[in-house]
Amino acid sequence: MATDLQIAVPKVSSVNPATGELLRELVCAGELEVSAAVARAHAAQRAWSEIALQKRVAVLHDFQSMLQQKKSQICEAITSETGKPVTEALTTEVLVVLDSARFLIENAYRLLRDESVPHGNIVTKLKSGRLLHEPYGVVGIISPWNYPFAIPATETLAALVAGNAVVLKPSEFTSLTALELESLLRNAGLPEDVFQVVVGGGATGAALVHSQIDKLVFTGSVATGKRIAGAAAERLLPAVLELGGKDPMLVLDDADVDVASSAAVWGAFMNAGQTCLSVERCYVHRSLYNSFLKACVEKTRALHVGSGLDPVTDVGPMIHERQLRIVESHVEDASARGARVLAGGSRLQQLGANFYAPTVLADVTHEMRIMREETFGPVLPVMAFDTDEQAVNLANDSEYGLAASIWTRNQQRGERLARYVQAGAIMVNDVVSCYGISEAPHGGVKSSGLGRAHGRFGLEEMVRLKYVDTDRMPGMKKVWWYGYGASFARQMEGFVDFQFARSLAERLRGALRAAGVVLRKRL
């Protein structure tokens, strides 16, 4: 008797990390589905790029208005999938996206319009040059779970206003938030195939990397980023890679301990420490070390840990068990090597499977994993230093270089030291919030990645530059064309002297030798 064979369809599950509740299951997009989405994007992109820039800006304006109106709904969706407090969903995601839209609405025309290119060389004065900013075509975006709305939305808006189509592969843990972004853009008037979400895990992401996209923007781990960079290099696919950080915080001997300790606690524990810009290494001048630790411990113990939907919650759950185990292993390694656990250091199982107590570690060293590897959890490791030079050396002793902060009452001192710290962004007397400054570029050095997001430089990542040169004397043969000969060589030597010799006399002699070059016979 014949039997029907059922083929299992790969799915991903969206789960509330605070409660374990299954929010929704979604079917994964396979290689064929991803390729089809990219093909539809290519078909739609040309018409999108050819409409007036003002109309693309108008779509962003409508998107911004809708997001402002639906902010509470979007925040709850973010919190349901990530566990972060609703307040953080508002301030670090929705507000960031609203301001990113504001920046693009105000600046897109100025930054994307054709630019005149002046010519300094005398021989090219009869030419006019223009620089064009043209869209790549289809931009593929692979985004992470920790900021499932802010990261893909800010990148998507820049790509769209520049005339690209976008295919987004969100984290398998936060697919529903990406679908909220898709709904907002569609309701704002964006043509359907100009922005598409393909849901799935690693296989879906790999399919997008190997598809016929024209540029890739990836945010994730160093290990995955390196594999993606290798795959992109095979066909010279341009890529922007934001690969995380191990951000240092330097508290100098003249810092305000109360203010700096509050910053350290917030910078280490917001979003349960699952932020690429988190304070993951804290270096404090020895004269302030004990008082700083005391303040951090007191403030850490005052934090309310719980469900992000509870308005009193300061710190929510971690995203899943696997990430929590990484945090546990880092704390256990540090403790075994002599670090002191002053607060936290354990799971909060009474709250749920994914909760870990905000943890303060003292007497850490660079031999510990907690100071070398990205922890991505609610841990604040604190180490003492004696001199500014030592602090900078410790900050730079890392494979990462995303961002850093320096704490001092002396602004000039802080800005001077900032020049020596190896990072894409340095904040003096603040942490993390540089990501929310739409005008400021976001990206790192060393293993923290390549390229930039946000602001002018983020928008420039979404366009190809094309130089167009037009000669104003089309009927004239150019003096540098064939018909060389000995006299032409002497004339051109004179021309070089006329332009670049150091003395006025040499320049005048050069001009006399070059005078005949315009009248010479050319082929």
- Asked if residue 447 is part of any domain, the answer here is no
Amino acid found at 27 = V
Separation CA 242–CA 472 (nearest Å):
44
Say if CB 52 and CB 112 are below 8 A apart: no
Query: What's the full length of the chain, in residues?
Result: 523
Task: Indicate left, alpha or beta for 293 from its phi (over 0: left) and psi (-120 to 50: alpha).
Answer: alpha
- Report the CATH number at residue 187: 3.40.605.10
What does the pLDDT read at residue 479? 87
**Total number of domains constituting the chain:** 3
Q: Which of 81, 155, 182, 242 is catalytic?
A: 242
Do 266 and 325 have their domain in common? yes
pLDDT band at residue 517 under the 50/70/90 scheme: confident
- Report the CATH number at residue 410: 3.40.309.10
Do 299 and 154 have their domain in common? no
Range of the domain at 506: 477-518
Separation CA 124–CA 104 (nearest Å):
35
Do 258 and 223 have their domain in common? no
Do 137 and 187 have their domain in common? yes
Q: Per residue in 37-77, pLDDT tens? A: 999 999 999 999 999 999 999 999 999 999 999 999 999 99
What does the pLDDT read at residue 2? 45
Do 225 and 355 have their domain in common? no
Do 131 and 163 have their domain in common? yes
Burial of 153: CB neighbours in 10 Å, binned 0-12, 13-18, 19+: buried
- Asked if residue 291 is part of any domain, the answer here is yes
Do 68 and 205 have their domain in common? yes
- Asked if residue 1 is part of any domain, the answer here is no
Separation CA 267–CA 275 (nearest Å):
9
52: number of Cβ within 10 Å: 8
* Contact residues for 115 (Cβ-Cβ < 8 A; gap 6+): 130, 131
- Asked if residue 420 is part of any domain, the answer here is yes
Mean pLDDT value of segment 366-376? 98
Mean pLDDT, all residues of the chain: 96
Which one-letter DSSP state was computed for residue 7? P
Active site residue 434: no
Separation CA 492–CA 482 (nearest Å):
13
Do 90 and 181 have their domain in common? yes
Mean pLDDT value of segment 356-380? 98
Separation CA 432–CA 268 (nearest Å):
10
- Asked if residue 325 is part of any domain, the answer here is yes
| Percentage of residues in the chain having pLDDT higher than 70 | 99
Separation CA 487–CA 473 (nearest Å):
24
| 247 closest CA partner among 50, 436, 423 | 423
Do 235 and 337 have their domain in common? no
65: number of Cβ within 10 Å: 13
Mean pLDDT value of segment 78-96? 98
Do 401 and 379 have their domain in common? yes
Active site residue 75: no
Do 380 and 270 have their domain in common? yes
- Asked if residue 76 is part of any domain, the answer here is yes
112: number of Cβ within 10 Å: 23
Task: State phi, psi for 403 to the nearest 5 degrees.
Answer: -150, 170
Q: Per residue in 494-503, pLDDT tens? A: 999 999 999 9
- Asked if residue 340 is part of any domain, the answer here is yes
Q: Per residue in 284-323, pLDDT tens? A: 999 999 999 999 999 999 999 999 999 999 999 999 999 9
| Percentage of residues in the chain having pLDDT higher than 90 | 93
DSSP structure string for 170-234: --TTSHHHHHHHHHHHHHTT--GGGEEE---SHHHHHHHHTSS-SEEEEES-HHHHHHHHHHHHH
- Asked if residue 396 is part of any domain, the answer here is yes
Q: Which of 28, 81, 155, 276 is catalytic?
A: 276
Which one-letter DSSP state was computed for residue 402? S
518 pLDDT higher than 90: no
Do 291 and 343 have their domain in common? yes
